Amino acid sequence: MSNSILDKIALLNNITLGSLSETDKITIIKSFTEAGMKILEADFGFVWYRPRSNNKYRLIYTSLNLRYSPHYPRRKGTNYVVQHNKEPLMVSNVKKAPFVSIDTRTYMKSLIVIPIAYQNNTYGNIVLGYNKIRKFSENDRSLSIALGNAAAQALTISRLHLYIEEQYQKMLKQKDEFLGVASHELRTPITTIKGFAQLLQQKSAGGDPQLNYFASKINTQVDKLARFVEELLDVSKIEAGKLPFRRKKIKLHELLKEIVEDLQFSTTQHEIILNGEIYGFVVGDPDRLSQVFMNILTNAIKYSPSGGQIIIRFRQKGPTALVSVQDFGIGIPKRHQRQIFNRFFQGRHSKASAFPGLGLGLYISREIVRRHGGEIWFESEKDKGTTFYVELPREKMKK
C-alpha cells in the first residue's frame, strides 16, 4: 500500500520535472491529466481551461476514452464551486450531488474536479471521471491537491518563459531600430562637421600653424567617428538580417592592389607586399569585400606598431581563392583568440588606449565573408605576428 503511494508521488514528480522545459500549455495540461488518471485510477479525464483574458471556461483537452462532449459549465456548477473553494471536489456518487449537471451524471458514477491553482494563479480545472462508484481516501485528496498545484506551477513557468522570450525579441527589435535610426541621423551632422573642418584646414594652411594643426586633428577624429557610425549601422543591419549585397564579378588581385595603394599612403613604417596571382574571379559585393580586406590590413598595421612587412599572398585551392595577410606584429594572446570575432570584442593590451576601436570590424568582416559563401580565420603567435586567411568561392574566367 505505502509502496503504491510512493510510486504515485514519484510519477507526479517525474511529470513535474519533465514539464519544466515545456512551453506549450496543451502539452503540459495533457501530461498532468494523464498522470492524474493513473495516480487517481480514473477512467477518463478532461480539462476546463480558463484563460486570463476573458475568464470563460474552454474545454482544451480530453483523454482518448472520453466518449461524450462535456457541456459548457453552468453558472453554479462544479467548476465554479471548485474555483471558489480552491480545493478539489470529490464526489463518490454523482446522483447524490445536486450541483453536478444531469448531463455529467449520465456519463460517470464518480468524479474529482481538481483546481489547477496555487496562490492567486488559477488556470481552470482537471476533471477525472469514473465508470464505477469509487470511494475516495485522504491520500486521494492530498494527491489531487499536489497534482493541481504542480500543474499550475508548470503553467506559470511556461507563461514566464514565453513572456521573457517575447520581451527579449521586442527589445532586440527596438535596439536594431534605434541603432539604425541613430546611425542614419548621425551621418548628416558628421558630413557638416567634416566639411567645415576641411574648409578650416584649407583656409588656415600657410597661416597660423597651430590653427591648421587643430583643424587637421578635428578632421582625423571626425573620420574615425564616421567609421564607427558606419560600423554600428552595419551591425544593426546584420542583426536585423538586412545587410544588402550586390553581385558583381570581382578580380581579387585588382581589388587588393587598389586597397594597398591607398593604405601604403598612410604608413611609412610598413611595407605592404602583394605576392602571387589569382585566375578567375569571385562574385560578390566589391565594396563589402574591400571593407573586409581594409579591416584586416588596418588591423595588421595597427597591431604591428614597430613597423615591418605585411605580406598578402594569393593562392588557388581547388574551387576557392585563398587570400592571406601576414603581419609580424604583437600577435593575438591565446586567451583572446577564441573571442576576436565576437561583437564589441576589443583586445585589452598593456597599453589599452593604444589600440582604440569599437571591436566590430572582425565581426562585420566574418558576416560579409560568410554571406559570400566563404570563411575567415587566423593563425597567431604572441610577439611573432598574425596571419588572417579569407577563402572565397572562385568562378572560372570565361574566355
Partner 1 sequence: MSTPKKILIAEDDPGISELIETVLEEQGYVVEICPDGHIMKELLTGKRTAGFMPDLILLDLWIPEIDGKKMAQLLKSNAATKHIPIVIISAQRNLDTIVKKVGANGFLAKPFDLQELVGTVNQYL
**Burial classification of residue 34, based on how many CB atoms lie within 10 Å of its CB (0-12 exposed, 13-18 middle, 19 or more buried):** middle
For partner 1, the binding residue among 53, 188, 210, 266 (CB under 8 A) is 188
* Cell 610577439 found at: 383
Q: In the set 59, 157, 226, 283, which binds partner 1 (CB under 8 A)?
A: 226
Residue of 74, 187, 348, 370 that binds partner 1 (CB under 8 A)? 187
Our finding on whether 206 is near partner 1 (CB under 8 A) is no
**Piece of 85-93, 185-193, 322-330, 336-344 that binds partner 1 (CB under 8 A):** 185-193
- Supply the angle between the helices 286-302 and 252-264 in degrees, to the nearest 10: 40
Q: Is 184 in the site for partner 1 (CB under 8 A)?
A: yes
Distance CA 161, CA 174 (A): 20
Span of 64-72, 73-81, 149-157, 182-190 interacting with partner 1 by CB under 8 A: 182-190
CA–chain centroid gap for 231, Å, is 20
CB of 190 to partner 1, least distance (A): 5
Alpha-carbon gap, residue 102 to 95, rounded angstroms: 9
Q: Tell me if 190 contacts partner 1 by CB under 8 A.
A: yes
Cell of 126: 482537471
Q: Which stretch binds partner 1 (CB under 8 A): 61-69, 115-123, 184-192, 367-375?
A: 184-192
192 binds partner 1 (CB under 8 A): yes
319 sits near partner 1 (criterion: CB under 8 A): no
For residue 97, state whether it binds partner 1 (rule: CB under 8 A). no
Residue 251 contacts partner 1 per CB under 8 A? no
Verify binding: residue 195, partner 1, rule CB under 8 A.
yes
Between residues 78 and 201, which has the closer beta carbon with respect to partner 1? 201
Complex with partner 1: residue 195 or 393, whichever CB lies closer: 195
State the amino acid at position 82 in one-letter form: V
Binding of residue 244 to partner 1 (CB under 8 A): yes
Q: Return the C-alpha cell found at 49.
A: 481551461
Q: Which member of 26, 133, 172, 199 binds partner 1 (CB under 8 A)? A: 199
Is residue 196 a contact point for partner 1 (CB under 8 A)? yes
Shortest distance (Å) from residue 183 CB to partner 1: 9
Task: For residues 216 and 199, give the distance between their C-alpha atoms in angstroms, rounded to a whole number.
Answer: 10
Q: Taking a C-beta distance cutoff of 8 angstroms, is the pair 136, 97 a contact? A: no
Piece of 34-42, 63-71, 88-96, 188-196 that binds partner 1 (CB under 8 A): 188-196
- Binding residues for partner 1 restricted to 264-303, rule: CB under 8 A: none
393: contact with partner 1 by CB under 8 A: no
Output 157-164 pairs: Cβ under 8 A, ≥24 positions apart: 157/19, 157/20, 158/19, 158/22, 158/23, 158/24, 158/25, 158/28, 159/25, 161/23, 162/23
Rank residues 199 and 397 by Cβ distance to partner 1 and give the closer one.
199
Q: What is the DSSP letter of 51?
A: -
DSSP annotation of 281: B
Residue 178 CB, nearest distance to partner 1 (Å)?
16
Q: Which residues contact 303 (CB under 8 A, 6 or more apart)?
A: 327, 329, 330, 331, 332, 355, 386
Burial 129-140 (b: 16+ CB within 10 A, else e): bbeeebebeeeb
Asked if 191 interacts with partner 1 (CB under 8 A), we say yes
364 binding partner 1? (CB under 8 A):
no
- Piece of the chain touching partner 1 by CB under 8 A; list 124-132, 190-198, 309-317, 380-388: 190-198
Q: By CB under 8 A, how many residues form the interface with partner 1?
A: 15
The least CB distance from residue 195 to partner 1, in Å, is: 4
Closest to partner 1 by CB, 190 vs 250, is 190
Q: What is the SS3 assignment for 390?
A: strand
Pick the closer one to partner 1 by CB: 14 or 202.
202
Among candidate residues 344, 280, 283, 290, the one with its CA nearest the CA of residue 314: 280
Asked whether the beta carbons of 374 and 320 are under 8 A apart, the reply is: yes
At a CB cut-off of 8 Å and minimum separation 6, what does 77 contact? Answer: 99, 100, 101
* Cβ distance to partner 1 smaller for residue 126 or 190: 190
**Of residues 34 and 230, the one with the C-beta less far from partner 1:** 230
Q: Can you give the binding site for partner 1, defined by CB under 8 A?
A: 184-185, 187-192, 194-196, 198-199, 226, 244
